[in-house]
Amino acid sequence: MTDISFIHDEQRARSGVIAAFMAEESALPAQLAALDEALDGRVSRAIAAADFKGKSGQSLDIPGLDGIDRVFVVGAGKAADLDAPGAEKLGGRMAAALMRARIDQAVVLAAPPDGAPLKAADFAARLASGLYLRNYVFDKYKSDDKKKGAPKAFAAAALLVDAAPAAGAAEKRFTPLRAVADAAHMARDLVNEPSNVLTPKTFAKRLRKLAKMGLKVEVLKPRALKKIGMRALLAVGQGSANRPRVVVLRYQGGDKDAAPVAFVGKGVTFDSGGISIKPSQSMDEMKGDMGGAAAVAGIMRALAARRAKVNAVGVIGLVENMPDGKAQRPGDVVRSLSGQTIAVLNTDAEGRLVLADCLTYAQRQFKPKWLVNLATLTGAIMVALGKEYAGLFANDDALAEDLNAAGAATGEKVWRMPLGAAYDKQIDHEVADMKNIGERWGGSITPAQFLKRFIENGTPWAHLDIAGTAMAAEKSDLNDSWGSGFGVRLLDELVRRREKA
Q: Give alpha helix (H) positions in 52-163.
A: 84-100, 120-134, 144-147
Question: Considering only residues 348, 412, 424, 493, which one is a binding residue for Mn ion as defined by CB under 5 A?
Answer: 348
Cβ atoms within 10 Å of 284's Cβ, excluding its own: 11
Listed ranges 62-70, 94-102, 107-115, 376-384: which one lies at the site for ligand BES (CB under 6 A): 376-384
Span of 10-18, 86-94, 194-202, 265-273 interacting with Zn ion by CB under 5 A: 265-273
Is residue 349 a contact residue for ligand BES (CB under 6 A)? yes
In the complex, least distance from residue 467 CB atom to ligand BES, rounded to whole angstroms: 4
Query: Is 271 one of the binding residues for Zn ion (CB under 5 A)?
Result: yes
Nearer to ligand BES, 105 or 346 (CB): 346
Q: What is the per-residue DSSP string for 218-272?
A: EEE-HHHHHHHT-HHHHHHHTT-SS--EEEEEEEE-S-TTSPPEEEEEEEEEEE-
d(CA 420, CA 437): 16
Q: Is 376 in the site for ligand BES (CB under 6 A)?
A: yes
Q: How far is the CB of 356 from Zn ion (least distance, A)?
A: 14
Sheet order of strands, 341-344 included: 332-335, 341-344, 434-435
d(CA 112, CA 131): 15
Which residue's beta carbon is nearest to the bound ligand BES?
379
- The CA distance from 150 to 132, in Å, is 18
- The piece of 40-48, 72-80, 310-318, 341-349 that touches ligand BES (CB under 6 A) is 341-349
Q: Is 177 within 8 Å of 88 (Cβ atoms)?
A: no
Decide: 230 and 337 in contact? Cβ < 8 Å: yes
d(CA 153, CA 267): 28
Q: How many CB atoms neighbour CB 163 within 10 A? A: 12
Give the range of 11-19, 29-37, 59-67, 343-351 binding ligand BES by CB under 6 A.
343-351
Q: Shortest gap between Cβ of 371 and Mn ion (angstroms)? A: 23
Counting beta carbons within 10 angstroms of the beta carbon of residue 178, is it exposed (0 to 12), middle (13 to 18) or buried (19 or more)?
buried
Stretch that binds Zn ion, among 47-55, 187-195, 216-224, 261-269 (CB under 5 A): 261-269
DSSP class of 15 = S
Contact between 265 and ligand BES per CB under 6 A = no
Residues numbered 238-277 forming contacts with Mn ion, rule: CB under 5 A: 271
Q: Would you say 112 or 351 has its CB closer to Zn ion?
A: 351
First to last CA, the chain: 26
Catalytic residue among 134, 178, 352, 489: 352
Type and span of the H or E element at 500: none
How far, in Å, CA of 22 to CA of 43, rounded?
11
Q: Which does 467 bind (CB under 5 to 8 A by kind): Zn ion, ligand BES, Mn ion, none?
A: ligand BES
Is the CB of 82 or the CB of 286 nearer to ligand BES?
286
Residue 289 interacting with Zn ion (CB under 5 A): yes
At CA 289, angle to CA 399 and CA 325, rounded to 5?
A: 130
Would you count residue 182 as binding Zn ion (CB under 5 A)? no
Interatomic CA distance for residues 310 and 495, integer angstroms = 8
Residues 53-112 that bind Zn ion (CB under 5 A): none
Rounded to the nearest whole angstrom, what is the least distance from the CB of residue 151 to Zn ion in the complex?
A: 31
Active site residue 489: no
Part in contact with ligand BES (CB under 6 A); list of ranges 154-162, 231-239, 305-313, 370-378: 370-378
Residue 278 known to be catalytic: yes
Q: Which is nearer to ligand BES, 311 or 376 (CB)?
A: 376
Q: Does 271 bind ligand BES (CB under 6 A)?
A: yes
x/- contact string, 28-57, with ligand BES (CB under 6 A)? ------------------------------
Q: Which does 122 bind (CB under 5 to 8 A by kind): Mn ion, ligand BES, Zn ion, none?
A: none
Phi and psi at residue 297, to the nearest 5° = -60, -40
Which of 91, 239, 351, 468 forms a contact with Zn ion (CB under 5 A)? 351
Distance CA 370, CA 224 (A): 26
Using rule CB under 5 A, residue 193 touches Mn ion: no
The yes or no reply on residue 465 touching Mn ion (CB under 5 A) is no
What φ, ψ does residue 374 adopt, rounded to 5°? -130, 140
Cβ(390)–Cβ(465) below 8 Å: yes
Kindly name the residue from 278, 309, 387, 452 that is annotated as catalytic: 278
Site for ligand BES in 411-470 (CB under 6 A): 437, 467
Binding residues for Zn ion (CB under 5 A): 268, 271, 289, 351
Binding residues for ligand BES (CB under 6 A): 271, 289, 346, 348-351, 376-380, 437, 467
Report, as residue numbers or ranges, the catalytic residues. Answer: 278, 352
